[in-house]
Structure 1
Amino acid sequence: MKILLLLSSTFTFLHTISSSSSNTTFICKTDHDCRLNGLCSLTTSTCICDPGWTSPTCGALDLLPATLGTGYNKTSFNASSWGSKIIHDPSNSLLFHLFLAGFTHQCGLDYWSPYSRIVHATSLEGPAGPYEFHSEVVGTFAHNPTVIWSPADEKWLLYYIGCPQSVNATCTSPSFSCGPGNFINGESGISVLSSEDLYSWTPHGQVMSGMNDGAWDADITNPSPHPLGRKGEMLLVYRGCPFNCSGNELISLSTAPSFLGPYTKLSSPIFPESNEDPFVWQDKRGNWHMLLHSLEPDGGFGSGPMVGRHAFAEKLEGEWTFDAETLAFSAVVEFQGGEVREFYRRERPQLFFSEDAEMKPLFLMTGVQEVGSEMSYSLIQPIEGAREWEQALGI
């Protein structure tokens, strides 16, 4: 069955609060005012946030201090990594898997293409790690990994971008293509692997390709999948931009009857703001959400702390609301002991949720690069409720 989601041409944009209204008490009228991350109280006209979310609008993640040395940080060995996705082992409650982009030949973040590969790391110390290298899943060039469980297929699915590419021992950035849409850095085109055990992976090749034309999304990358229903249908959110990414980076949706495709794209972006790195999920009430790396002037690629945005919709087909009022997370991270670091770049957001019907966000995974450093690593930051969840698990 082919699924085509029709998106309304209208959209909702939340304007930034001016300084003159910053001291005004926020009043909600509907749950939409609470970003669908909480309920609007009919008696007090204030938002009652779901666990894991905070701020008057419930638009900010309720982040706890991170712990130095957790996540996947091998920069002391001159090894960079970027982004990550936590998977809780289905057989061993104390084992956690991390799938991330790791760079070969001691190359830094600037050389993610073509030196990125997909790494499988493991930890017995909790979802935040620290994680240790287990194996290489896909060699160079492979990037943007994310892993989901498909109940219909009873398989783990790993989506990524890339194609086989030999690399020089000295870090260089050659032009190459992995398919239509881009001949500069190989970023266009989305592939998938499947596994029954998280260790042995079967490649299925590229399931969604770009185009060599003038489309706004000729260049496609940043896959974020989500199963739809029980028949194997799949949602795939992606970032599109013109050929060779010569214009605005925008977010849209595609759907397919199975994870193998064919994927049917929407005809337009779901909101006009420039973003990348979407991470999509459906909450306990059936609403849809995304975390995004914002490319706004005070965020983007090292331009300031405004890097994490949230978008939401009551229905997948829209209308989608992009929240430009409340920052979901920033480039500033507090660590245990009181240390605070403002990272030069913080991108590739993904979440780890509680494994019950509540779908509480427990950990935020991002790729970070410190000011003045060529290296990068995979940071994992706990969210309010994470400690209690770990204690209940026996960690």
Structure 2
Amino acid sequence: VICRKILGGQPPFCASLQRGGAHAPCRVPRPPSARPYRCDAQGGERGACVLAEGPPGQFKGGGNFVDESCAGHCSNLDLPRVARGGKACADEWDCSLAGLCVRGRCVCDAWTEGSDCSYLRLEPLETAEAGASGYLDERHSSWGGSVLRGADGRYVMYVSEILCHEASSSRCGLDNWQTRSRVALAVSEGGVTGPYVRRATVLTPEAHNPSLHVSPLDGSWHLYHIVGSAGPIGIISSSDNGDTWTAPTTVSAGQNPSAVLRRDGSATIYYRADGGDLPSPTCSDEYVGRVECAT
């Protein structure tokens, strides 16, 4: 296959001339000066190929590649290994804190695998047939889901649901999540894997990212969520296993909440937020914060 530029095409799109005269689209990399890609080996972005456009010194990592594949050099710490003289690890950080670095190689804990112990060793999921598990509503797109086993043995899921126009008879995608997201309840009679069937609307727009937690003090349910696309974080509570809920109350700034509830009635809320004063160099100002609640 030979890729050649064609009239009217915009790089990097070209035509692929195959035997028999057939044509197919292909990509021709732009020069490194136009699209500088690097392998970013920092923390959770270990091994990711990133577009390193920005102020000098903003991006760590190595290499200078011409497209988003980074020529396959970003997987499993290839570049950091080169920097360490061929060794896969120098300490436990290079083993994702999920294994030991022994003579330059990661010896993973039983629950992880991979050259840097970054892959979970999950048990296979047993499903009866396609479409027989999980949750998929016929009309509305959904995002995430917080699942709990109720006192009656059924599993309940609180899920972000993107509200489509009432006239719509099919899902409309996630594009409107910032203005038309609500929280819906789905129930499974057949176990934790589902299938889950939609039962009711719990929170009207704008409500997103539900996270359900049970108080070890009195067994009450507490559903955290974000009130707008950028927060704040709200909460509704139920003393009857989700049959009725209190009115929403704002508890914290931030987004994507999760919580730890304690027997003394206190709670710690963890959240995602922007605008953090993070050490340079960094390509983001995102951070995880927390707030302590006495009751």
TM-score higher than 0.5? yes
Aligned equivalent of 1:117: 182
Deviation (angstroms), 1:222: 1.4
Q: How far off its partner does 1:238 sit? A: 1.6
Q: How far apart, CA to CA, are the structure 2 residues paired with 1:190 and 1:79?
A: 24
Native 8 Å contact 1:101 1:145 kept in 2: yes
1:29/1:99 CA distance change after superposition, 3 Å: same
Q: Map 1:195-344 to 2 at 5 A.
A: 195-196=238-239, 197-209=241-253, 220-227=254-261, 229-242=262-275, 248=284, 250-258=286-294
CA distance in 2, matches of 1:249, 1:126: 40
Question: What is the DSSP-based 3-state SS (H/G/I as helix, E as strand, rest coil) of the residue aligned with 1:194?
Answer: strand
User: Which residue number in structure 1 is paired with residue 64 of structure 2?
Assistant: none
- 1:40 offset after TM fit, Å? 3.1
Q: Any idea what SS the aligned residue of 1:18 has?
A: helix
Name the amino acid aligned to 1:193: I
| Deviation of 1:248 (Å) | 4.2
Distance 1:202 1:119, change over 3 A: same
**Counterparts of 1:252 and 1:100 in 2: how far apart (Å)?**
22
Q: Deviations over 1:29-59 (max 9, x none)?
A: 55x554344x5387997434243x3324332
TM-score by length of 2: 0.58
> What is the aligned length?
204
User: Where in structure 2 are the equivalents of 1:376-387 lying within 5 Å?
Assistant: none
Q: Which amino acid is 2:141 matched to?
A: S
Question: How many angstroms apart in 1 are the aligned matches of 2:214 and 2:263?
Answer: 12
Q: How many angstroms apart in 2 are the aligned matches of 1:193 and 1:224?
A: 14
CA distance in 2, matches of 1:26, 1:65: 31
1:18 to 78, 82, 92: 78
Q: Distance in 2 between matches of 1:205 and 1:134?
A: 24
Which one has a bigger Cα radius of gyration? 2
Change (3 A) 1:149 1:35: farther
* C-alpha distance after superposition, 1:69-106 (max 9, x if no partner): 221112xx3321111112122442xx211110112234
1:193 pairs with one of 232, 236, 241:
236
Change (3 A) 1:198 1:55: farther
Q: Matched residue of 1:202: which SS? A: coil
**What is the alpha-carbon distance in structure 2 between the residues aligned to residue 140 and residue 230 of structure 1?**
32
Q: 1:154 aligns to what SS in structure 2?
A: coil
Decide whether aligned partners of structure 1 residues 241 and 46 sit closer, same or farther in structure 2, where only a CA change above 3 A counts. closer
CA distance in 1, matches of 2:146, 2:140: 18
Confirm or deny: 8 A CA contact 1:152 1:231 kept in the other structure: yes
Partner AA of 2:136 in structure 1: N
Name the CA shift for 1:203/1:128 in 2 (closer, same or farther; >3 Å): same
Q: Return the TM-score normalized by structure 1.
A: 0.45
Percent identity of paired positions between Structure 1 and Structure 2 = 26
- Which of residues 97, 111, 118 in structure 2 aligns to 1:59? 118
Structure 2, unaligned stretches of length 5 or more? 1-40, 48-76, 276-282
CA contact (8 A) 1:84 1:145 kept: yes
Of residues 188-197 and 233-242 in structure 1, the stretch that sits farther from structure 2 once superposed is: 233-242
**Structure-1 separation of matches of 2:42 and 2:139:** 42
Please state whether the residue corresponding to 1:152 is helix, strand or coil. coil
Kept in 2, the 8 Å contact 1:239–1:249? The answer is no
Name the structure 1 match of 2:61: none
- Give the residue type in structure 1 aligned to 2:263: R
Q: CA–CA distance in 2 between the matches of 1:109 and 1:253?
A: 26
Residue of structure 2 equivalent to 1:142: 207
